[in-house]
Amino acid sequence: MGSSLLDDECDYLFKTVLIGDSAVGKSNLLSRFARDEFHIDSKPTIGVEFAYRNVKIGDKIAKTQIWDTAGQERFRAITSSYYRGALGAMLIYDITRKGTFENLKKWLHELREYGNRYMVIVLVGNKSDLVNSREVEAEDGRSLAQQEDLCFMETSAKENLNVEDAFVQMITKVFEIASQKSL
């Protein structure tokens, strides 16, 4: 198994991307996972933003460079370079805004057009703490994931629910596939 990027502190380094409509919680999921931080009034950042995290898988260390759209999705300006080389993707919607769920088909289309053919995609319904404003049932997320052959999880970046699990699931799967396919 090779490595798409160079690093001597880990056994395998690869790129993953976060994708989904504006304000679904991408930046906060990333800061929660990478730095265990949550920001109540996070402002969209413009430009490219990414963070790293190491995950131990058996006796190996997998390191992932996680890219956040950093506000670009508001302008529909995500280009093929954003997806280039990515082996994992977290496709995120907000369970309190049905529109963000309805737009998933468009994001999936883009991911499949530009992404690596072996890309691991985890579907994430974020803001699960906002139970009273829920517009998308967990069952709807699960059934879309089944139809499209994706992993699925509901998370709360705010309450730190399932965030670690969702990322680790994606990273572990990428690691397994990369080992099999020599990516």
**List of residues contacting ligand GDP (CB under 6 A):** 22-28, 39-42, 44, 126-127, 129-130, 156-158
Tokens of 101: 């769920």
Neighbouring C-beta atoms of residue 88, cutoff 10 Å? 28
- Using alpha carbons, select from 38, 24, 8, 98 the residue that is nearest to residue 68: 24
Which lies closer to ligand GDP via its Cβ, residue 10 or residue 91? 91
Q: What residue number has its CB nearest to ligand GDP?
A: 25
Residue the block writes with tokens 């260390």: 61
Sign of the torsion formed by the C-alpha atoms of 166, 170, 172 and 173: positive
Which lies closer to ligand GDP via its Cβ, residue 128 or residue 169? 128
Which lies closer to ligand GDP via its Cβ, residue 25 or residue 88? 25
Nearest distance in Å: CB 58, ligand GDP: 31
Nearest distance in Å: CB 112, ligand GDP: 21
Q: 176: number of CA atoms within 13 Å, CB side?
A: 7
Do residues 89 and 120 make contact, with C-beta atoms less than 8 angstroms apart? yes
Nearest distance in Å: CB 64, ligand GDP: 18
Nearest distance in Å: CB 27, ligand GDP: 3
Which lies closer to ligand GDP via its Cβ, residue 39 or residue 56? 39
